[in-house]
A and B are shown apart, each in its own frame.
Chain A
Amino acid sequence: MHATIHEMTPAPTSPDVALDVQRIRADFPILRQQVHGKPLAYLDNAATSQKPQPVLDALLRFYTEDCSNIHRGVHQLSERATAAYERSRGKVRRFLNAAEGREIIFVRGTTEGVNLVAYAFGRQRVTAGDEILITAMEHHSNIVPWQILCEEKGARLLVAPINDAGELRLEEFEKLLRPRVKLVSVTHVSNALGTVNPVEEIIRMSHARGIPVLLDGAQAAPHMKVDVRELDCDFYAFSGHKVFGPTGIGALYGKAALLDAMPPFQGGGDMIRSVTFEKTTYNSLPYKFEGGTPHIAGAIGLGAAIDYVMGIGMDRIAAYERSLLEYGTQALENISGVRLIGTAKEKAGVLSFVLEGVHPHDVGTVLDQEGIAVRTGHHCAQPVMERFGIPATTRASLAFYNTHEEVDTLAAGIQKVKELFG
């Protein structure tokens, strides 16, 4: 079975595409381990990705050499920590190609980024009878903040439908861009299906009606070049831990004019210019949105992760992963009883599937015994599961350190599941 697949889809050899995967893997100490006596095949990257040595080093260096609070101290350590933290903001700016560093707000992750926009932008702009437009493939974190906002304001949440392949029905989406829609919030890449949304079209259609657009970039940022100026999106949120950085850190990009006009999100230290009991003046961007001591080490680790992936090149990563995804798609389609959930023409990173007669939870347990880490369940996208009439899927999700051999291991693991439950 393995050999056949290899012959059908050889690994890429073109020099501008080829990554030295073994060399890359050597940078990720966690990948060297065995699980249940088998080499770990980590295929749960959409949940969180692993961290290369430079990220681990950056965290250790901060805590062993530079640890102190930022923006306030006059001492040497605080100066170094502040400089490193702000350098990371510059790295995030370059990663997204934002125009200015002040358009980058450090947050805990994508979820907090979406909530920040729902709270600060939404509460200011949305009134009773207004509408927010999302899609049927959103993660719960791009549904629930809007439900909370709509409930509070008496507004309505509109949901653009998807087709059986898991693609947005763009003509239906456009029909929902009604006069009362105050914000469009869509995922760039679906976490449960892998669908890459036509975000350029979405933004063009929305802007033609004067509606701003937030992109949930949690599943896109690890896999492709993101250029917020070329996209012309108004907000873009992503999580550090999915781009090979630490957990608990992420970034929200917002156009300066929009962020400037928004009220603060959380009150606290660092987000103010002056405080008296009579009147408080808020700090300028981006600090207005960074109340309290931030995750300084996390931001610095995220900067190191961005250096690492940009060092490889997002285009090379995307090209390699595309070949791996095609290979995996073919491998799974060759197994009778496997049905892929999410067969969009444009996909990134995700192989979500159901196996006839076997619940995903049992698939996951058997694969785990083979050293294969996958996610099983509804992937925080219950409406997507309902759309496809299934309770859950098994999801293998890829990163650039995954190999064609690991995909073979997955395919062999699924065969074992079939034997056991056959």
Chain B
Amino acid sequence: MADLRDLYQEVVIDHSKRPHNFHKLEDANRSAQGYNPLCGDKVTVYVKLENGRLRDVSFEGSGCAISTASASIMTEAVKGKTAEEARNLFESFHDLVTRGNAPDDRATPLGKLAVFSNVSEYPVRVKCATLAWHTLRSALESSESVVSTE
């Protein structure tokens, strides 16, 4: 169980059970949906982008502990950052979960995101950890009119 505790750290389990920023963002001007057909995980990421900065970020959806916790911690990590900083952070995070690079090696400090460093030892779970990030990137690339209020 020791190994699994490295994957499922308390922080991860807490965020998966009580995700932060877990709601629809009513005044979002960017959003995108992500879907992992392998496990059926679905996520919608909402962004309020102002002058190139992510003023607010939230998400909705259903997924496993890794994907939910990753989405939750991501929303906290990117809030207030510029779109470019968010993209750089995704690159560092992607390196972390695919190669397990120590966070202090990175140009972009990962902070709390470092709890996912052991995901790299579970290759089939990498997609769970990165689903929200891919969706965020799509949201940032989407045009302003995409957000639907349906």
Kindly name the residue among B13, B64, B122, B128 whose own CB sees the greatest number of chain A CB atoms within 10 A.
B64
CB < 8 Å: which of A369, A391, A420, A421 contacts B40? A391
| Contact yes or no, A377 B40, CB < 8 A | yes
B105 contacts across to A, CB distance below 8 A: none
CB < 8 Å: which of B1, B7, B17 contacts A365? B7
Query: In this complex, what residue of B is CB-closest to A417?
Result: B4
Stretch of A56-64, A292-300, A326-334, A355-363 lying at the B interface: A355-363
Give the top 9 A-B pairs by smallest Cβ distance, nearest first: A359-B64, A361-B64, A391-B40, A361-B39, A392-B40, A362-B65, A362-B64, A378-B40, A377-B39
21 inter-chain pairs at a CB distance below 8 angstroms, sorted by A residue, are: A359-B65, A359-B68, A360-B39, A360-B64, A361-B39, A362-B65, A365-B4, A366-B4, A369-B4, A376-B39, A377-B38, A377-B40, A378-B40, A382-B40, A385-B40, A391-B40, A392-B40, A419-B1, A420-B5, A420-B8, A421-B13
Residues of A within 8 A of B (CB): 357-362, 365-366, 369, 376-378, 382, 385, 391-392, 416, 419-421
Q: How far is the CA of A378 from the CA of B13 in the complex (A)?
A: 23
| Contact yes or no, A392 B39, CB < 8 A | yes
Question: Which residues of B (27-69) have their CB < 8 Å from a CB of A?
Answer: 38-42, 62-66, 68
Q: How far is the CA of A359 from the CA of B125 in the complex (A)?
A: 13
| Contact yes or no, A362 B8, CB < 8 A | yes
Q: How far is the CA of A112 from the CA of B5 in the complex (A)?
A: 43
B3 an interface residue at 8 Å Cβ cutoff?
Answer: yes
Besides the known contacts A361-B128, A378-B40, 8 further A-B residue pairs in the complex with CB atoms under 8 A apart: A361-B41, A361-B63, A365-B125, A376-B39, A382-B40, A420-B4, A420-B8, A421-B65
Query: In this complex, what residue of B is CB-closest to A385?
Result: B40
B13 contacts across to A, CB distance below 8 A: 420-421
Q: How far is the CA of A392 from the CA of B5 in the complex (A)?
A: 24
Query: In this complex, what residue of B is CB-closest to A390?
Result: B40
Q: How far is the CA of A377 from the CA of B4 in the complex (A)?
A: 20
Q: How far is the CA of A391 from the CA of B128 in the complex (A)?
A: 15
Knowing A369-B3, A369-B4, the reply to whether A362 touches B66 (Cβ < 8 A) is yes
A-B pairs with beta carbons under 8 A, tally: 52
| Contact yes or no, B41 A391, CB < 8 A | yes
A366 contacts across to B, CB distance below 8 A: 4
| Contact yes or no, A359 B63, CB < 8 A | yes
Q: How far is the CA of A391 from the CA of B39 in the complex (A)?
A: 8
Kindly name the residue among B4, B66, B68, B122 whose own CB sees the greatest number of chain A CB atoms within 10 A.
B4
In the complex, what's the smallest C-beta–C-beta distance from B72 to chain A, in angstroms? 14
B38 contacts across to A, CB distance below 8 A: 377
| Contact yes or no, B4 A358, CB < 8 A | no
In the complex, what's the smallest C-beta–C-beta distance from A90 to chain B, in angstroms? 40
B128 contacts across to A, CB distance below 8 A: 361
Q: How far is the CA of A419 from the CA of B7 in the complex (A)?
A: 15
A382 contacts across to B, CB distance below 8 A: 40
Kindly name the residue among A362, A366, A385, A392 whose own CB sees the greatest number of chain B CB atoms within 10 A.
A362
A359 contacts across to B, CB distance below 8 A: 39, 63-65, 68
In the complex, what's the smallest C-beta–C-beta distance from B118 to chain A, in angstroms? 11
Q: How far is the CA of A271 from the CA of B5 in the complex (A)?
A: 58
Knowing A365-B125, A369-B4, A421-B13, the reply to whether A358 touches B65 (Cβ < 8 A) is yes
Q: How far is the CA of A391 from the CA of B63 in the complex (A)?
A: 8
Query: In this complex, what residue of A is CB-closest to B128?
Result: A361
Q: How far is the CA of A416 from the CA of B3 in the complex (A)?
A: 13
| Contact yes or no, A365 B122, CB < 8 A | yes
A362 contacts across to B, CB distance below 8 A: 8, 64-66
Query: In this complex, what residue of B is CB-closest to A422?
Result: B13
A419 contacts across to B, CB distance below 8 A: 1
B122 contacts across to A, CB distance below 8 A: 365
In the complex, what's the smallest C-beta–C-beta distance from B117 to chain A, in angstroms? 16
Kindly name the residue among A361, A369, A416 whose own CB sees the greatest number of chain B CB atoms within 10 A.
A361
B8 contacts across to A, CB distance below 8 A: 362, 420-421
Q: How far is the CA of A376 from the CA of B8 in the complex (A)?
A: 18
In the complex, what's the smallest C-beta–C-beta distance from B7 to chain A, in angstroms? 7
Q: How far is the CA of A392 from the CA of B38 in the complex (A)?
A: 10
Q: How far is the CA of A358 from the CA of B64 in the complex (A)?
A: 7
| Contact yes or no, B66 A420, CB < 8 A | no
Q: How far is the CA of A392 from the CA of B122 in the complex (A)?
A: 20
Q: How far is the CA of A357 from the CA of B68 in the complex (A)?
A: 13
